[in-house]
Amino acid sequence: MWNIIQSLWSSLALFLSALFFHGMILRSIRENKPNWFINNHQHHIIRYFIGMYYGVLGLYFIWRGLPGEDFGIYTDMLINIILMLNVFSGTGPATIATSIIIIGKLLLGYNPHMQLIYVFFLLSYHFICIQVNTLKISLVRKFILSKLSITPFMLYYLHFKMAIPLQVYAIPKWLFIFTISFICSLILYLAARFIDTSNKQIFELRQSSILDPLTNLANYRHFDTCLRDEYKESTLKQTPLSVIIFDIDFFKNINDTYGHQTGNIILSHLSIALKKVLFHENALIARIGGEEFAVLLPDTSRDGATFYAEQLRKQIEKTDFPFKDEEIRLTVSVGAATMDHLHHFESGEALLKAADAALYTAKENGRNRVYTANLIVPLKE
């Protein structure tokens, strides 16, 4: 029995280390690349790497469980990998990890017949966990239900693996093993939930400090910080930096006619329309005032900024903003400015002021048009 506790304890410690290392990596990514958790493609890549990460951990447990290496109770940790990934990461990562573990069992196993039976149970358990995960119940209930569903497999496998008889007199031994196994899984579940919850809370707290609550775009404070950083980066690397500023034409009339609540709804819908403009991935869209917005475009030329500004204007002009039984149409005036080898600015703030001056030129010349700083002819006559 002491061998069982010793093996479980060492494998549990390793699993916990893997969990915390995984949590630290995800926290770092959330802090430095928050868009990776918003962009579906990049988020899927992260999740698949998680599956591979725990699949490799499973290979290590398989190797340690081989005869002559350790007592073999590492088998329990393979089940926990499938359980934890299904509960916290979803079907994709769990399927990847399960596939890697199955390949490892078939290649490293010493008893082909026993390994095939084991693979069958692994696949069955994975599919059970998938089904449990679709139930509309709490995480802890999903964990308990998934854990209990492995009982028939443990009775069958451990009976042969550890030569525990299926007799009445062996009940205390079985209860001991099941209790230890459940406690280990519970510790892993609590650790995984703590890491997952704390990381999400830190991320949400950070997001709330940099996002405008109405539009869910960057707020002025975050925009200003990024502008300063990008200005330094652009100056150091001698790359272009562009800024676009725009505001809604005659927005005061909308507030006066329909009320401020309607105005807020329109601003919220406007942010959705902005996300349909295909800015490059490093662009930052922000709400910097009441109905005033800005776009920071690192490594973007004057022509590129002008192109994006016109695409933005056209997108908003063709968007219907629903209000009760009618559709409200909006137009925007847009100003842009670029720092490059021909146009230098003393600071990011000076670049922003140049774009703001171009915006007011657009407004004075009829609105619903784009002006670029130092560009005399407007794009839309």
pLDDT tens readout for residues 50-82: 999 999 999 988 888 776 555 445 567 888 999
pLDDT band of residue 242 (cuts 50, 70, 90) is very high
Question: Quick one: residue 62, left, alpha or beta (phi over 0 = left, psi -120 to 50 = alpha)?
Answer: alpha
For the stretch 96-136, pLDDT in tens is 999 999 999 888 877 777 788 888 888 999 999 999 999 99
Cα separation, 71 vs 65, in Å, equals 6
For the stretch 17-56, pLDDT in tens is 999 999 898 888 877 776 677 666 788 888 899 999 999 9
pLDDT band of residue 381 (cuts 50, 70, 90) is very low
Q: With pLDDT > 90 as the criterion, what percentage of the chain qualifies?
A: 39
Cα separation, 267 vs 25, in Å, equals 36
Edge-to-edge, what's the strand order for the sheet holding 332-339? 284-287, 292-298, 241-248, 332-339, 370-372
pLDDT at 379: 42
Cα separation, 376 vs 372, in Å, equals 8
pLDDT band of residue 370 (cuts 50, 70, 90) is very high
Cα separation, 364 vs 355, in Å, equals 14
pLDDT band of residue 378 (cuts 50, 70, 90) is very low
Cα separation, 255 vs 227, in Å, equals 31
Q: What is the mean pLDDT of residues 326-338?
A: 87
Structural domains of the chain ordered from first start: 2-210 (1.10.1760), 220-372 (3.30.70.270)
Q: Is the dihedral of CA 372, 377, 380, 381 positive or negative?
A: positive
CA distances from 27 to 52, 241, 276 (A): 18, 29, 28
**Residue positions counted in the chain:** 381
326 CB neighbour count, 10 Å cutoff: 9
Bridge partners (DSSP) of residue 100 are none
- Residue 217, pLDDT > 90, answer no
